[in-house]
């Protein structure tokens, strides 16, 4: 029995390691080749950037000879503001749905589920017309509003399920102590669902940071381009600066990697809690 369990555990770990290596291989290839010259990239794409193969011209083009730092800052601004709004509004709406009973609360839950099922890109034409009518074309505000609307349904749905598991006795005790509903939410409820906040933040950040569709349509201007659009400047009609493209992609990976490292423990706790909940 013990041998069977060990073999089963070894098999599971082998599959997970193989999957991890398969997932990390493209990222490693991007980073390695970003430190090579164009000839070295095509001559030996899997080789290490050593000796004559090493070149930092790609990073020099990205950081010093282009507007990529501006695009990077635009992406950071859009992503951070959108995440704050998604987490704050999503948690507050979920708290209201899980804590209070009022006419139409079930319809609101159904509406949120429909918001998850229907891709927001289907309404691109209507969104573009609305953004133009509001005078927000080629602004970061347009992207923030769209990404917030895109991330709220799934955020509210996840928060609601977890907030329903928060003990009502704790909240009732806080009310007896004289805390207002706002203080109960921020001082009692939020600390109890920090792993869920980390989970929602990571899963909301990745599609926002990597999105090309809405920046291309709503904010393609030079001053409002994001990272995904900024990479396109190194791709010409007849030539491609592969060193700069790979360097830009390597730099673009950093925020997602840093966020995962910071919230990794909370993220794992949130996913585990969701797996065993109920």
- pLDDT tens per residue across span 227-246: 988 888 888 767 788 888 89
pLDDT in tens, 23-40: 889 889 999 999 988 888
Query: Mean pLDDT over residues 87-91, rounded?
Result: 92
Provide the residue range defining the domain that includes 261: 67-276
236 found inside a domain = yes
Q: What is the pLDDT of residue 226?
A: 92
Tokens of 227: 């990272």
Q: Across 75-79, 169-173, 187-191, which has the greatest mean pLDDT? A: 75-79
Task: Using pLDDT thresholds of 50, 70 and 90, give the confidence band for residue 88.
Answer: very high
Query: Mean pLDDT over residues 170-186, rounded?
Result: 84
267 found inside a domain = yes
CA atoms of 94 and 158, how far apart (whole Å): 8
pLDDT for residue 161 is more than 90: no
262 found inside a domain = yes
Q: What is the pLDDT of residue 268?
A: 66
pLDDT in tens, 213-226: 999 999 888 889 99
Total domains in the fold of the chain? 1
In the predicted model, what is the mean pLDDT of the chain?
Answer: 85
3 found inside a domain = no
Domain at 199, CATH number? 1.10.3720.10
* pTM of the complete model: 0.84
CA atoms of 231 and 204, how far apart (whole Å): 22
pLDDT in tens, 249-266: 888 888 888 887 877 776
Instruction: Note every long-range contact of 120-123, with CB atoms under 8 Å and residues 24 or more positions apart, other chains counting.
Output: 120/146, 120/149, 120/150, 121/213
Q: What is the pLDDT of residue 83?
A: 94
Q: What is the DSSP string of 28-58?
A: HHHHHHTTB-HHHHHH-TTS---GGGB--HH
Q: What is the pLDDT of residue 148?
A: 94
Q: What is the pLDDT of residue 235?
A: 82
Q: What is the pLDDT of residue 143?
A: 94
256 found inside a domain = yes
49 found inside a domain = no
29 found inside a domain = no
9 found inside a domain = no
pLDDT in tens, 115-158: 778 888 888 899 999 999 999 989 999 999 999 999 998 898 88
Q: What is the pLDDT of residue 266?
A: 67
Contacts of 275 (CB under 8 A, 6+ apart): none
pLDDT for residue 276 is more than 60: no
């Amino acid at each position: 029995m013990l041998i069977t369990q060990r073999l089963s555990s070894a098999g599971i770990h082998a599959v997970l390691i193989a999957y991890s290596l398969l997932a990390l291989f493209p990222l490693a290839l991007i980073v390695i080749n970003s430190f090579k010259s164009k000839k070295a990239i095509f001559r030996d794409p899997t080789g290490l950037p050593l000796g004559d193969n090493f070149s930092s011209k790609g990073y020099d083009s990205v950081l010093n000879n282009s507007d990529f730092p501006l695009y990077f800052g635009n992406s950071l601004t859009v992503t951070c503001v959108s995440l704050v709004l998604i987490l704050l509004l999503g948690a507050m709406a979920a708290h209201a749905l899980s804590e209070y009973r009022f006419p139409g609360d079930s319809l609101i839950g159904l509406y949120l589920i429909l918001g998850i099922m229907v891709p927001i890109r289907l309404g691109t034409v209507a969104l573009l017309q609305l953004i133009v009518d509001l005078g927000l074309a080629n602004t970061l505000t347009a992207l923030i509003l769209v990404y917030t609307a895109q991330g709220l349904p799934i955020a509210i749905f996840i928060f609601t399920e977890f907030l329903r598991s928060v003990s009502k006795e704790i909240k009732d005790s806080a009310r007896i102590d004289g805390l207002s509903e706002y203080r109960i939410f921020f001082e009692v409820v939020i600390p109890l669902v920090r792993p869920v906040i980390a989970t929602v933040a990571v899963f909301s950040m990745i599609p926002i940071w990597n999105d090309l569709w809405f920046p291309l349509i709503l904010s393609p201007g030079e001053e409002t381009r994001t990272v995904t659009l900024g990479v396109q400047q190194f791709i010409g009609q007849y030539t491609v600066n592969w060193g700069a493209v790979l360097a830009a992609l390597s730099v673009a990976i950093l925020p997602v990697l840093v966020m995962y490292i910071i919230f990794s423990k909370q993220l794992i706790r949130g996913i585990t809690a969701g797996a065993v909940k109920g």
